[in-house]
Amino acid sequence: MQKKRIFLILLTITLALYILSGVVFNPMIIWTAGPVFLSYPLLNHGLSKGSKPNCYGAYAYLLGSSGFSLAYHLAWFFDWGGTKTGGSTSALIFAVFPVYAVFIGSLLWPIGYAVGYVSARKP
């Protein structure tokens, strides 16, 4: 049940990224939603082991990577600060920012792991 719920959450995030990109046919969604896709094996691993630290780390990764991904997609969709119309190379945001999203998620994973470790040790 938990895995189905997580899959639906990840699918919803991916669908939101697809809609916010504003393109009907968008093969780049595989790349731009890549950080979200990477969280699925992390969550599966944590849930299959029943490890609270691994689950918390995966949740922190998902929060960081998908939060950042949604933020730059919203900036593009609503053209905040001329994100969409400010320059001829503005669409490169979709080529570069997924790497940043993975980096941010990777920075938050150990924090989530530590929180899960501490909360698992409490009686």
Can you give the pLDDT of all 123 residues of the chain as single tens digits? Answer: 677 888 888 899 989 988 888 778 888 888 989 999 999 898 888 888 888 999 999 999 999 999 999 999 999 889 888 888 888 888 888 899 999 999 999 999 999 999 999 998 876
**C-beta atoms surrounding 20 within 10 Å:** 18
Cα–Cα nearest to 94, from 28, 40, 49: 28
CA dist 35 and 69 (Å) reads 8
CA dist 9 and 11 (Å) reads 5
Report how far apart, in Å, the C-alpha atoms of 110 and of each of 61, 90, 120 are.
Answer: 9, 32, 15
* CB crowding 99-115: b at 16 or more within 10 Å, else e: eebbebbeebbeebbeb
Q: Judge contact between 43 and 4, C-beta under 8 A.
A: no
* 34, two tokens: 């890549």
